[in-house]
Amino acid sequence: MKDGGVTHHQYVTELTYLLFLKMAKETGTEKQLPEGYQWDNLIAVENGDRLGFYKDLLAHLAKEGSSLVQQIYSESRTSIQKPRTLSNLIDELVHRLD
């Protein structure tokens, strides 16, 4: 992630946002997330468009979904600037946790 301009602290924050989405899917609690802004929606987006979708997802989840979701994503923003950095992080989560 450092090659992508992301510090260790920022990496942990990004990982938290992404893991929450993935865990919601795995635990059957995705109903707390707005339709279209869930883990499968994020990973379905083409790599080149994923960063833009992710930024929109963070902003949307701060306003929509259950109150818990809104609290988690309140004032969320990404530090990731390169689409490939986000895709690499997501690929790691998909391959290591599935």
Please give the model's pTM, rounded to 2 decimal places.
Answer: 0.89
pLDDT score recorded for residue 7 = 83
pLDDT confidence of residue 3: 56
Domains plus CATH for the chain? 2-97 (1.20.1260.30)
Sign of the alpha-carbon torsion through 76, 22, 46, 34: negative
- Per-residue pLDDT of 12-49, as tens digits, reads 999 999 999 999 999 999 999 999 999 999 999 998 89
Determine the Cα–Cα distance for residues 98 and 17; give it in Å rounded to an integer. 17
Whether pLDDT at 57 is above 60:
yes
Is 60 exceeded by the pLDDT of residue 54?
yes
The closest of 62, 25, 27, 67 to 43, measured between CA atoms, is 25
* Type and span of the H or E element at 43: helix 39-44
